[in-house]
Structure 1
C-alpha cells in the first residue's frame, strides 16, 4: 500500500505523537508513505468564515500538488478537520463553475486542480486497506484486559465521509478487537466534543466534553482519531470534573498509539508522555 501523507498543522505541534505513532504503525504494516512536499494549512474551520472560496482553495492547493506526484496513490490525512475540508472541497470542485473559480485562484501558485486524487482518513485506511486480520497478525502484545471506548467525534464520519455510518460508526471496533482489547460501547461515540465552541462559549463546549467523558467512564481509556477531540477531552478533565461533581481521569489516546503498543513498538514512537492525563495501562 502506498500513500501521499498530508500531516496537517496539528501534527507538527500539539498532536506530534499522533503523527509519529501513525507513521510507525504504517511502517510496521508494510505501507509506503511519502510526505507531500510544500504542503500548507488546509484552512481548518477559520478560512471559510472569512471567504467561502478561500475555504475551498486552501485544501485544493494541497490536492493539486498531490496530483502532480500521485501516480495512483491516495492522499492520507490523520486530522478529521483536514479530512472534512478535503472532502468538502473535492465535492465543491465537481461543479464546473466552482472548479473554474478555484483554478483561477490557484494560478498565483502555478498549479491546476483536476479532481484526480482522493483524500482519505487514516481510520478508513486502517479499517479497509489493511483490516482486522492483517492488523491482528502484527500484534505481539495483545491488549487483553484493557477496555477501550471508541470515540469518532463528529467530523471523522460526517458529513462527507463515505466509509462508515455517520450516526453509528463501527470501523474502529474490528481494529480494537484485533488488538485484543474489549470495546466499551457508549452513546456518545459520534457526538461532538465541543472543541469548536470551547473558546468562544466555554460553558457550552465544556458541557459537551463532559457528556463524552461521562459516557466513557466505564472504560480504561478512550481511543480517538481526531487531534482536536483528543486535545479537548484530555486537556479539560479538571474543569469537566467540576461540572460533573466528581473526579474524572481517563486517558485519551490516539488509535495508532494503542496499535503501536499492541505491536510492541517502543515508547519513543508511542509518546505517551505527551498526553496530559497520565497513561497507566495495565496489560
Structure 2
C-alpha cells in the first residue's frame, strides 16, 4: 500500500539483484502494476535494471524472463500486449478469455496429453474464477475494481531442461481467511497463525465453501489439486500461500502450516503455484486421478 500512498514517482533499483524466484517476481509485478493502474500512469514507477555484463545473473532473472517489461506495463493496452507476445508475466480480469490463451500457450510448448491438459485447464480456471468470485468481495475494494477490475497476475512458462511447467496466479484481494470467515473485513487480521492455518486446511476439504446454503458448491479445491496426480513425479507439487499460512500438495500427500519460513511478512491476497511434469505417454490413465 505504500506505493499507492506516494504522491510522486517511485524509483526502484534492481541493479544489484542477483536472483529472484518466480513467486517473488510475480508479487513485485502485481504490487507495482496495481499502483500504476490506479494512479493511471505507466511511468509512476521507474526502474534501474541489472546490466548484462556487470550482473549477468540478475540480468537473466529480471530482464530475460520478461519481468522488466512487465514492470513497465502499467496500462490495459500494454498488459494485453504481454499476453499477445506470450510473456511469462501477464495480468487479466477476464477468466474465460485469458485462461484459454494461457492453456494454449503452455500446450504449444509442453504438449500435455489430453487428460492432463483437461485437469490443468480445470485447475487454472477454478483459480481464476476464485479471484473473480471471492478475492475482492469487500466494500473496501469498490473504488479499485472500477478502475482495474477483479484482477489477477500470473507467471507461466515451460522449462525444457527439466521438462517442467510452472504456473503461478496471484491476487491482491482479501485472502482465503477473510473469504471463508464471512463478516470479516479486508483490514481484519486473524488472532493467530494457527487460526489461519486451520481455515486454509478447511478450505481444501471436499464440500467446504463460503456458500454454506449451497451444498453443491465446495468442489473447487479438488479442481485445484487435480493436476497433481497420485502417480506423479517428485517434481510435481501444488503450493498455496495466503496471509501467514501455506498449503502443499504432492505425491506424498498434503500439509498445511505457518508460512513464516517462506514469507517474510503477511501475504496479501492469495498465491497459487503448480509445478507439473507433462505426461506424453497418452491414453486415459490420468482419468483415474481426476
Normalising by the smaller structure, the TM-score range is 0.3 to 0.5
> Which one has more relative contact order, counting CA pairs under 8 Å at least 6 apart?
1
Query: Which has the larger strand fraction?
Result: 2
TM-score by length of 1: 0.33
TM-score by length of 2: 0.33
Query: Which has the larger helix fraction?
Result: 1
